[in-house]
Chains A and B, each alone.
Chain A
Amino acid sequence: MLTQAMFRIWRGDPAGGGFQDYVTPVEEGMVVLDAVHRIQAQQAPDLALRWNCKAGKCGSCSAEINGMPKLMCMTRLSNLNLEMPVILEPMHTFPVIRDLVTDVSWNFRAKKTIKEFKPRSPDLPDGTWRMQQADVERVQEFRKCIECFLCQDVCHVLREHHKEDEFIGPRLLVYAAALEMHPLDNEDRVSDLRKKHNIGYCNITTCCRQVCPESITITENAIIPLKERVVDRFFDPLKQLFHIL
């Protein structure tokens, strides 16, 4: 492994910015976040970035590394070609605040537009429920989400078309799926998914699933089943025929 590497980091704010090169020593076992921390401590103390757990569990250090949306803490330098500069950019979909930090607050606001969890009444007089592991597991997959918003970053409805006012994006469709498929939930979100959240905008290109650091099968396990529920409710040809008659 090389003893030093070059990092080409985007630096700037909403007014504009550009790439700056930093050369820093690297060692075996290092991840991108380590190198950025070293640059920050020694060369660029005011370099802005978010991070917390350093173990892929909090989803704070999302960025685009050589053009791919990734967590900086889980991207090992040994998996990158260090003969070339490593290019680091903030997520493109969200407005930049400074350097690698973007304004992701829309995700938090949009979440509130989804109807909250509403459990059925308890199964037993002591106020508890009974659920089978198999039923729970289906939803546990969605609840692994660390809200890194990389799926939102890569979703072309948001990234290219900026339909933030109409469409909630893959992360929040996973959230909606976790609620809809929750064994205890009694709420009905199907109509909202079609009309308010415009699930139809998703044309299942699976980009979101491919960048998910938690390997959640976003498209197949969350979005498609939700689309099926919408289709069942609103586009069943037999039911439509019935309506016409």
Chain B
Amino acid sequence: MPEFQRFSYDVLVIGAGGAGLRAAIEAGACGAKVGVVCKSLLGKAHTVMAEGGIAAALANVDDRDNWRVHFADTMRGGQYLNNWRMAELHAKEAPECVRELEAWGALFDRTKDGRILQRNFGGHKYPRLAHVGDRTGLEMIRTLQDHGIYTGMEVHMECTVLSLLLDSGRVVGACGYDREKGLFQLWQAKAVVLATGGIGRAYKITSNSWEYTGDGLALAYNAGAELQEMEFVQFHPTGMVWPISVRGILVTEGVRGEGGVLRNSEGRRFMFDEIPDLYKDSTADNEEEGWRYTQGDRNARRPPELLTRDHVARCINREVKAGRGTPHGGVFLDIAWIKQHLPKAEERIKRKLPSMYHQFKQLADLDITKEPMEVGPTTHYMMGGIRVHGDSQMSSVPGLFAAGEAAAGLHGANRLGGNSLSDLVVFGRRAGRFAAEFAKKNEANGAATKVDEEQLQATAKAALRPFDNGASGENPYQIQYDLQEAMQDLVGIVRTESEMQQALEKIAQLQARADRVGITGHRQYNNGWHTAIDLASLLVVSEAITRAALLRKESRGAQFREDFPNKDTEWGKQNIVVKRGADGEMLVEKRAIPPMPEELKAVIDEMK
């Protein structure tokens, strides 16, 4: 019988990116004993990859900015499917959370008068992104990490969580194993925060690392929690397309924010060809005006390159499909051209976009100050996730909270750049606080926290099954690859009913193969085993994405249905919720969005 190493906490945080660390810090500050479990080493989570900045209406660069404008921008970007309460709280609390980071040591770039500098970004009306060159995410995670390690949280690095544990419907902890030794662990807790990030590894071309297999979403789903907005996967318009080995790696939107333009193989700035009605009035109709906008002219309108990500990604897709792509199947992103307008453009590019310069120089042998980059869409972000209460971030399972990318609600059908870093700190903080309160309350009323030993043993046994299958079982890497290929081809940027039906069949076949997955070697740091375990989460998430995308018979935000190319007013009033049925089948249903309070409606009308 497998042994479990046992730990006990008030609050267990799963995931140590921006949201997880912020939640852990807050729960600790509220007096809770906090445990953090993460899949990689501390400080390596995908937050480090965030480049452009953190959106907050500080109004340091443009004093017309305030929470109301940020709220309206977020709702417009999300095509009004957002949880409006979360969008409101986010816009109101983001500035405070940015200042908090500064108080913990973060060093943002400065304005001339010494305040935090803010830059333009897609979908944000005013320059709103506090940033550090193009490595804002690293600054943020390091700040949280270096603040957090002194707060007494216990960090379990390089662990995989296998299952959440419930007692009378309430979450009482989680179990998993550590990668280093392959030993089983039990983390008992009075409340659990899931901050496991995204699902990018369900797709072949992605900016996400191996970690992002949707573990938190699958854990919550299996524990009975509801998922929401699963059909909305953000394809970032600009990922690297060459060399093939770095395909998908992110090229920050900051390149376009600093004046970078998109051109097809004919040299045409194709983004001017199609501007959505919702943004017609706020988008420049000529190159000269667009340039002035990027250089801070307050009276100029944004260039079409800075339209929302879903739109830019589709335009790039269209150009490539029409045969106007680059040699490696992307389009050109040109920042070098700014030398026509600016003296010392080269230094400026290196100063403003240092890691982009570095990344292309080292990985593609290309000097972005001299030549255009080749870019194409890459799976980047999951708008959907665990359905939570807007204020407390608690899911439909008592004691189970979620924050950051793993939670749904804030971004609706499409996320604006910069809103994810602010999401992490605003809702990480809330989840941590409410989880600590929940833990305290339950302690006071003596709620049960019994761990089901049978479930524990069954989980461990299932996790070890791939070893029994051994070398004769299916190769886990191959199954993962086949799933990524199926999702990329059949549930990608452009979707149709028939392809998605095919995808469901493939997922079922892959599920059957995953049941026969086999690995060799032993339990110590066995990457094959880890890949085999991740398959279960990937399959749940892939099925949920496909079923939700099938149900939503319209095109909105990140979801584009070729068979239903238009927006549908009725669908605009509905979220899609995914949950597990009584017999383990996946249920997908519509859920009406609650009516927005008058004062928020007024804000949106006023900003139209």
Contact = CB atoms under 8 A, between A and B. Distances in A.
Interface string B356-400: 001100111000000000000000000000000000000000000
Contact of B114 (A30, A59, A108, A131): A131
Given A45-B519, A52-B40, A101-B525, A117 B209 contact: no
Contact residues on A (Cβ < 8 Å of other chain), bracket: 35 or more
B146 interface: yes
B114 A132 contact: yes
Interface in A107-143: 108, 111-112, 116-117, 119, 127-133, 136, 139-140, 143
B110 A136 contact: yes
11 contacts: A45-B519, A45-B527, A48-B527, A49-B527, A52-B210, A57-B135, A59-B44, A76-B362, A132-B114, A144-B135, A144-B138
A207 interface: no
A45 B108 CA distance: 42
Interface stretch (B74-82, B272-280, B473-481): B473-481
B310 interface: no
B511 interface: no
B363 A112 contact: no
B157 interface: yes
Interface in A170-185: 175, 179, 182-185
A114 to B, nearest CB: 9
A140 B524 contact: no
A64 B38 CA distance: 26
B296 interface: no
Contacts of B132: 140, 143
B563 interface: no
Contacts of B525: 48, 97-99, 101
B605 interface: no
Contact of A50 (B40, B139, B150, B531): B40
B254 to A, nearest CB: 14
Contacts of A82: none
Interface in A24-56: 27-31, 34, 40-42, 45-56
A45 B528 contact: yes
Contact of B44 (A34, A55, A58, A185): A58
Query: Which of A47, A108, A136, A143 counts the most chain B CB atoms within 10 A?
Result: A143
A41 B519 CA distance: 11
Nearest to A52: B209
Nearest to A99: B525
Given A46-B520, A111-B146, 18 more contacts: A27-B244, A28-B243, A41-B475, A45-B527, A46-B529, A48-B526, A49-B527, A52-B40, A52-B209, A54-B246, A55-B250, A56-B362, A58-B48, A104-B41, A108-B155, A116-B150, A130-B114, A143-B139
Interface string A87-109: 00000000001110101110010
- In the A-B complex, the 3 residue pairs with the closest CB atoms: A29-B243, A46-B521, A130-B114
Query: Which of B139, B147, B157, B526 counts the most chain A CB atoms within 10 A?
Result: B526
Contacts of B180: 97, 101, 103
A119 B249 contact: no
A216 to B, nearest CB: 12
B44 A56 contact: no
B242 interface: yes
Interface stretch (B97-105, B429-437, B492-500): B97-105
A120 to B, nearest CB: 11
A70 B525 CA distance: 21
B138 to A, nearest CB: 7
A46 B48 contact: no
A59 B520 CA distance: 28
Interface in B161-220: 180, 209-211
A141 to B, nearest CB: 10
Interface in B508-537: 519-522, 524-529, 531
B149 interface: yes
B359 A56 contact: yes
Given A29-B242, A53-B46, A60-B44, A131 B110 contact: yes
A146 interface: yes
A106 B105 CA distance: 23
B476 A45 contact: yes
B363 A55 contact: yes
Interface of B: 40-44, 46, 48-49, 99, 102-105, 107-110, 113-115, 132-133, 135, 138-139, 142, 146-147, 149-150, 155, 157, 180, 209-211, 242-246, 249-250, 355, 358-359, 362-364, 475-478, 481, 519-522, 524-529, 531
B527 A46 contact: yes
A59 B524 CA distance: 22
B109 A136 contact: yes
Given A51-B210, A108-B42, A130-B115, A57 B528 contact: no
B115 to A, nearest CB: 7
A74 B476 CA distance: 26
A130 B524 contact: no
A153 interface: no
Given A45-B475, A105-B157, A128-B99, A55 B521 contact: no
Contacts of B42: 108
Given A45-B476, A46-B529, A146-B48, A29 B107 contact: no
Contacts of A46: 519-522, 526-529
Query: Which of B114, B135, B519 counts the most chain A CB atoms within 10 A?
Result: B114
Contacts of A99: 525
B520 A45 contact: yes
Interface in A145-161: 145-147
A166 interface: no
A62 B244 CA distance: 22
Contact of B209 (A27, A51, A108, A129): A51
Contact of B43 (A50, A129, A147, A185): A147
Interface string A210-228: 0000000000000000000
B105 A136 contact: no
A42 B99 CA distance: 49
Contacts of B531: 45
Contacts of B362: 56, 74, 76
Given A46-B529, A57-B135, A34 B359 contact: no
Contact of B110 (A55, A108, A132): A132
Contacts of A54: 209, 246, 249
Nearest to A134: B110
Contacts of A143: 107, 132, 138-139, 142
A214 to B, nearest CB: 8
Contacts of A117: 104-105, 146-147
B188 to A, nearest CB: 23
Contact of B358 (A27, A56, A130, A145): A56
Contact of A13 (B49, B133, B477, B524): B524
Contacts of B138: 57, 143-144, 146
A174 B181 CA distance: 31
Nearest to A47: B527
Given A45-B527, A51-B210, A136-B107, A29 B520 contact: no
A74 B363 contact: yes
Given A104-B41, A131-B110, A34 B245 contact: yes
Contacts of B133: 140
Contacts of A146: 48, 138
A112 B524 contact: no
B114 A57 contact: no
Contact of A53 (B49, B99, B105): B49
Contacts of B524: 13, 48, 97-98
